[in-house]
């Protein structure tokens, strides 16, 4: 990344996380913050953040769970450079770092079966159902490339220890695909809807599933994000600003 305007930091979690992002193109919204809040890392856990981007989810988790260690895997070197800068900007380089690599051909330092938790915010749109945005960062973040949703979930299963946990955030209208990809690898699945407003259909969903889990799927109450006037609800503010956990 470059100095100057490109490196001016935004903030998350009420200012506890500072994050430099490009002035144009893709920018972290609330999904990575919610993803980190739903990743129940225990002290000593190794967490893999797949598709780490500029590091928003990793940094929020590092603040919320300071006794875990986080590895971010990011395919695009220029994006990974932002993540590395942000890790240093927040002073967590002793317990969080980013590795450049593709989940279809992961680097040796990202070893199978070595993580207690995997968290991921995969691209939401299938390549055959989307028009690529002109901005390459937005395109990579929003539209699947060679790695489909099936590849992302299979990769998580490979990276996790037995009984380790996958947490992901995705569009609610792809939930049927997600659920079809879990059996044989994951169980004890929890579905956590993110309701835009009370009485409205969920557009996003958090999914937690255990590698080798045997328990039945559970539908959680979920979280209502906005009041009728558009303000965040008190429950959403507790997560997005105060760093509260989401219990899945």
Question: What does residue 226 show for φ and ψ, rounded to 5 degrees?
Answer: -130, 145
Residues listed for the chain: 248
Is residue 27 classed as helix, strand or coil in its secondary structure? Answer: coil
Q: Dihedral through CA 224, CA 230, CA 233, CA 237, nearest 10?
A: 110
Average pLDDT score over residue span 202-225: 97
Q: Report whether pLDDT(3) > 60.
A: no
Q: Give the per-residue pLDDT at 4.
A: 38
Task: List the domains of the chain with CATH numbers.
Answer: 4-240 (3.40.50.150)
Q: What is the pLDDT of residues 44-89, one digit of tens each?
A: 999 999 999 999 999 999 999 999 999 999 999 999 999 999 999 9
- Local confidence band at 129 (pLDDT 50, 70, 90 cut-offs): confident
| Alpha-carbon span 158 to 90, nearest angstrom | 30
Q: What's the rounded mean pLDDT across residues 142-156?
A: 91
Q: Which tens digit of pLDDT belongs to each residue from 176-185? A: 999 999 999 9
For 24-33, the pLDDT digits (tens) are 767 788 999 9
């Amino acid at each position: 990344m470059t100095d100057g305007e490109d490196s001016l930091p935004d903030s998350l979690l009420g200012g506890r996380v500072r994050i430099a992002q490009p002035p144009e193109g893709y920018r972290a919204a609330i999904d990575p913050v919610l993803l980190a809040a739903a990743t129940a890392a225990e002290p000593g856990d190794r967490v893999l953040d797949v598709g780490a981007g500029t590091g928003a989810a990793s940094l929020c988790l590092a603040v919320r769970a300071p006794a875990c260690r986080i590895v971010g895997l990011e395919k695009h070197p220029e994006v990974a450079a932002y993540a590395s800068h942000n890790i240093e900007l927040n002073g967590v380089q002793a317990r969080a770092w980013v590795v450049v690599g593709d989940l279809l051909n992961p680097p040796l330092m990202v070893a199978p079966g070595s993580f207690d938790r995997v968290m991921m915010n995969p691209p939401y749109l299938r390549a055959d159902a989307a028009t690529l945005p002109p901005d390459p960062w937005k395109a990579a973040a929003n539209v699947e490339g060679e790695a489909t949703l099936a590849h992302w979930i299979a990769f998580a299963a490979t990276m996790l220890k037995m009984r380790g946990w996958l947490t992901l955030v995705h569009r609610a209208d792809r939930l049927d695909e997600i659920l079809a990809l879990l059996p044989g690898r994951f169980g004890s699945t929890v579905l956590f809807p993110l309701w835009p407003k009370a009485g409205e259909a969920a557009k996003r969903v958090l999914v937690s599933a255990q590698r080798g889990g045997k328990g039945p799927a559970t539908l959680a109450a979920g979280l209502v994000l906005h009041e009728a006037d558009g303000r965040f609800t008190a429950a959403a503010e507790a997560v997005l600003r105060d760093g509260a956990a989401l219990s899945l």
